[in-house]
Chain A
Amino acid sequence: MRPVSLSKRSFRSEARVVVAGVVADLKHMRAYMLNFVGSLFVPLTFLATFYLTVSALTGGDLSKFHEITGSYDIFAYMLVGYIFTSYVDDALFAIGENLKGMMVYGVFESISMVPISRITFLVMNTLSTYIWTTIYTSMILVSVWLLFGFVLRGNLPLAALVIVLSVVALYGFGFFYAGFAIQLKETFKLSSTIRFMVPIICGYSYSIVILPAQIQTISRIIPLTYSVDMMRFSILATIPLIPTHLELLILALSALVFPYLGYRTYLKLEARARKEGALGRY
């Protein structure tokens, strides 16, 4: 049998790299046990804070909430927003944060020379993030079922489709952000600011109809607004912002266009960093 060259890319070599990336991440997580255990409970405390604050402010009077959303279930409304946020955050930031981590540990240059496709290189480290997000989400769902008897109902396949389309579309931004991380080096504050701004503009915790008209215009340009709206519609049958078939169409188009644009931008930014000899710096 002819030996396969180590520098020749094949489906198997790409798969091996993905598995290696996930294994490395899992080892990393296991090495910091307290961090891992803590991360299992953080989502619950966020939800509890949110729920308690809203309860204190409304005192059970949900007429305004019902008027806008057509629902009385604030807990489900928050939960859907939170689950959505978790997956979206992974797509948006995991790639860039991982690249930054590689730079700090001084392994970025060596890993970027490994004979694998750029897509695999960028995406491999996000898979373990999704595994954990799914574990956290399951844990939240089990916890709220045990504590409050709450069960997520509605059109779950549609909700899953919305998450998948949104995540694929957001990989586009993830690629772009990764390129930006290579150029800018320190991106923690940038990602924190975006993490704060996107939920405000796209209405993760409320409907955008309460925003001032000018901000609403921006919200309606961003496909994420329709993602979270569709998610709520699929689980809670809330009143959608625009007809749902249009929202799905926007998401599908975004899933096609954004990853391509983001990837092209990443390649350009990486090439520039190579030319400047700035890959190894942080």
Chain B
Amino acid sequence: MRESLTRRTLNSELKVLLAFNRREFINYVRYPLNPVFDLLMEPLYFVNWLLIGLFYVGAPTSTNLMVMAGTGDYISYLFLGGVLMSFARGAVDTVGNSLRTEMRTGTLESCWIAPISRFTLLTGRIVLNLVFMAAFNLLSGLLIYAIFHPVWNLDWTALFLILILTLLSNYSFGILMGGVVVIFKEIWSFRQLFMSALWILAGASFPVEVLPAWAQSLSRIVPYYYSLRDFRAVVLKGSTLSELSGDLLLLLVFSSVSMMLSYALFKRLERIAKRKGTLGLY
């Protein structure tokens, strides 16, 4: 029996996912210097923070960070924060950018009426970014390891689990950005602002204890706060999954809640755009 073209199946969703990522890949390698610059960019980001640390602290370890976070190795501390947040940034940027590109090229409405789930439409392109980010971060990690010989406990199962749970948050924030793009179109600086707020509240480059009390309370509802805490605990202190189970549960809860809220908000914003007839505008 032949399947209807308008009927959604797992197979059709996977086909779309593949098509989206294939197209993104073609666009990416169409400008051959892109991969070269990306390869340079990620390590440069860490070099910048490393030099800032060396300039202000004067040594590769920080006594104050030792007191606050239980590790003085700020190179690893900043690196791990950067790694986890790069996945978040990648997801938020990819959804925002790709929808903007669809708007500019006039293909958004056609994509919108394709018989695929909104989830796939919005987040389908994140997969390729995820692969690239993983590769770039791995490379940066190897460089840092080769240069500074930090003491890292690489419990891959624990790290993978934390990343998977964090991925849920990445997707939810990506979907949220999709809704905002549909209404406000150009949101480059809003995205920056949003990611900066997440960076600060999650404590990506410093322990959240340096924040005022009200901001620390806000941190507790940001999923990345838990992922970063656990990610660092595994790598820098050798914590096990059972020790982190409470945090992981909270991470799962907050990631799921943020996913539901983001999706609900997206649907609302999409409805507004449809009612106003502004979906195709840019």
Q: Kindly identify which residue among A64, A197, A205 contacts B57, using a CB–CB cutoff of 8 Å.
A: A64
Given the contacts A53-B205, A196-B48, A210 and B55 also touching, CB distance less than 8 Å:
yes
A68 to B57, CA, bound (A): 11
Could you say which residues of chain B place their CB within 8 Å of the CB of A157?
none
Verify A205–B48 contact, CB threshold 8 A.
yes
- A40-60 interface code vs B (CB 8 A; 1 in, 0 out): 011001101110111111111
Assess whether A186 is interfacial by the CB under 8 Å rule: yes
Could you say which residues of chain B place their CB within 8 Å of the CB of A196?
40-41, 44-45, 48
Assess whether A75 is interfacial by the CB under 8 Å rule: no
A64 to B53, CA, bound (A): 11
Assess whether A17 is interfacial by the CB under 8 Å rule: no
Could you say which residues of chain A place their CB within 8 Å of the CB of B261?
none
Assess whether A240 is interfacial by the CB under 8 Å rule: no
Verify A200–B192 contact, CB threshold 8 A.
no
A190 to B31, CA, bound (A): 11
Q: How far is the CB of A53 from chain B (nearest CB, A)?
A: 4
Verify B64–A41 contact, CB threshold 8 A.
no
A64 to B64, CA, bound (A): 14
Could you say which residues of chain B place their CB within 8 Å of the CB of A59?
62-64, 67-68
Assess whether B119 is interfacial by the CB under 8 Å rule: no
Q: How far is the CB of A65 from chain B (nearest CB, A)?
A: 5
Tier of interface size on chain A: 35 or more
Assess whether B187 is interfacial by the CB under 8 Å rule: yes
Q: How far is the CB of A166 from chain B (nearest CB, A)?
A: 20
Tier of interface size on chain B: 35 or more
Q: How far is the CB of A8 from chain B (nearest CB, A)?
A: 36
Assess whether A199 is interfacial by the CB under 8 Å rule: yes
Verify B190–A38 contact, CB threshold 8 A.
yes
A61, A68, A104 interface centre (most CB from chain B within 10 Å) = A61
Verify A55–B41 contact, CB threshold 8 A.
no
Binds B, one of A29-37, A115-123, A229-237, A267-275: A29-37
Verify A52–B206 contact, CB threshold 8 A.
yes
Could you say which residues of chain B place their CB within 8 Å of the CB of A64?
55-58
- B171-196 interface code vs A (CB 8 A; 1 in, 0 out): 00000000010001111111111001
Given the contacts A49-B205, A190-B37, A192-B41, A210 and B54 also touching, CB distance less than 8 Å:
yes
A34 to B185, CA, bound (A): 9
Verify B65–A57 contact, CB threshold 8 A.
yes
Given the contacts A35-B188, A38-B192, A46-B196, A58 and B64 also touching, CB distance less than 8 Å:
yes
- A179-200 interface code vs B (CB 8 A; 1 in, 0 out): 0000011100110110011011
Could you say which residues of chain A place their CB within 8 Å of the CB of B67?
59
Assess whether B211 is interfacial by the CB under 8 Å rule: yes
Could you say which residues of chain B place their CB within 8 Å of the CB of A31?
185-186
Q: Which residue of A lies closest to B66 (CB)?
A: A59
Verify A56–B64 contact, CB threshold 8 A.
yes
Could you say which residues of chain A place their CB within 8 Å of the CB of B63?
59, 61
Verify A190–B33 contact, CB threshold 8 A.
yes
Verify A38–B187 contact, CB threshold 8 A.
yes
Assess whether A207 is interfacial by the CB under 8 Å rule: yes
Could you say which residues of chain B place their CB within 8 Å of the CB of A58?
56-57, 62, 64
Q: How far is the CB of B251 from chain A (nearest CB, A)?
A: 23
Q: How far is the CB of B206 from chain A (nearest CB, A)?
A: 4
A193 to B51, CA, bound (A): 17
A104 to B48, CA, bound (A): 32
Could you say which residues of chain B place their CB within 8 Å of the CB of A197?
40, 44
Q: Which residue of A lies closest to B197 (CB)?
A: A45
Verify B187–A34 contact, CB threshold 8 A.
yes
Q: Which residue of A lies closest to B64 (CB)?
A: A59
Assess whether B9 is interfacial by the CB under 8 Å rule: no
Verify B200–A54 contact, CB threshold 8 A.
no
Q: Which residue of A lies closest to B101 (CB)?
A: A104
Could you say which residues of chain B place their CB within 8 Å of the CB of A50?
52
A205 to B47, CA, bound (A): 12
Verify A32–B48 contact, CB threshold 8 A.
no
Assess whether B136 is interfacial by the CB under 8 Å rule: no
Could you say which residues of chain B place their CB within 8 Å of the CB of A49?
196, 199-200, 205
Report which B residues bind A (CB closer than 8 A).
30-31, 33-34, 37-38, 40-41, 44-45, 47-49, 51-58, 62-65, 67-68, 74, 78, 104, 180, 184-193, 196-197, 199-200, 205-207, 210-211
A to B CB contacts below 8 Å, 16 in the list? A35-B188, A38-B188, A42-B192, A50-B52, A52-B210, A53-B52, A55-B206, A56-B68, A58-B57, A186-B31, A189-B41, A190-B33, A196-B48, A200-B48, A206-B54, A206-B56
